[in-house]
Amino acid sequence: MIIKPKIRGFICVTAHPDGCAAHVQEWIKYVKSKGPIAGPKKVLVIGSSMGYGLASRVTAAFGSGAATIGVFFERPSEEGRPATPGWYNSIAFTQAARAAGLYARNVMGDAFSDDIKAQVIAAIKADLGQVDLVVYSLASPRRTHPKTGVVHKNCIKPIGAPYTNKTVDTDKGIVSEVTIEPATEAEISDVVAVMGGEDWELWIQALADAKVLAPGAQSVAYSYIGPEVTWAIYKNGTIGHAKDDLERAAKAIDAKLKANGNGRAFISVNKALVTQSSSAIPVVPLYISILYKIMKARGTHEGCIEQMQRLFATQLYNGNTAKFDEAGRVRVDDLEMIPEVQDAVRRIWPAVTTENLEAQTDIAGYRSEFLKLFGFGLPGVNYEAEVEPHVPMI
């Protein structure tokens, strides 16, 4: 079939297998171009099929020559419907890794479940013995709790009062005001259950109990703080509460790993980027569009793969000592948050309208990056050609 992008709301419901493979190859090429990283050798990535999780897996494999196990939950192709992009990304990564002589194994299913944890532990024991890095990069709309069976649903809302600010329909290019009603206490608890740190703790506990964590093993989870203009919907909203719980978990896990041969766990606060998750958050796409324009003009813009390569090469490994902020977090959002960049955002924000959106922001860059998530707009891919959407997982 000929696959074209079909956008509904903040998501594209189609994905292009050849385009996704080309995107993964772009990332691999970038990591190789930066030279080897004296880093991990046996890596588990929980949430490995998109965004920062996939970029972490690419960096570990092609920067450090690491064996990797990736955990993800993606939909295969159906009759007349392509698979999700993470499905194609994982196949492309696995093919490239194995072609380079690197071990790569995939475990597909609900990472929140006890069953998937058991499958991963069995794979580590059978093939690797132990892992020396665990990357936790899950983003999910819901979580079925493995102990209670309760289904917790994610929602993006402010807390305490309604929130009104500008947002943009990235597809239609319309700038408007959006008002979001505050979350209930039950909704806040649900978001913490889905996006907080409990599942990360359960993973580390299961791995530790099974004795598959190498002495000195590290674990990292990813977060975002951002500027004040996004705080009501992010840092001080439901997601922010979940991220606070993630930081609580990081401290508990860090203590556990320090007792295991002086390992460590921490949060890496990353830059605002176009991802499936960020596209769903009102206000944030407009902020990213402004940010991209400013950072590209300054020559400091980074995408997922540049962020993760820098994190591994300058903070986690290569003999470097991680630089922590006052809350014990590593900051690779540093170039985003410098005063000159944020002052420029504050100047532009109130002036943006539907009429001047193209001039005041990099909405074109936002759209391009959004489509690349689904394998569209990659150079060298013939999007007019028939392509087979049914690609088996390997």
Residues catalogued as catalytic: 234
Q: In this structure, how many other beta carbons lie within 10 angstroms of the beta carbon of residue 376?
A: 22
What is the distance between the alpha carbons of residues 306 and 26, in angstroms, rounded to a whole number? 11
What is the distance between the alpha carbons of residues 332 and 39, in angstroms, rounded to a whole number? 18
The token duo for 248 is 């609580």
Alpha carbon of 295 to those of 60, 61, 77, 88, 309: distances in Å? 26, 28, 37, 30, 18
What is the distance between the alpha carbons of residues 359 and 317, in angstroms, rounded to a whole number? 40
By residue count, the chain amounts to 394
Interacting residues of 124 by C-beta distance below 8 A, sequence separation 6+: 42, 44, 69, 130, 131, 207, 210, 212
- Name the residue among 239, 263, 237, 264 with its Cα closest to residue 250: 264
Question: What is residue 158's three-state secondary structure?
Answer: coil
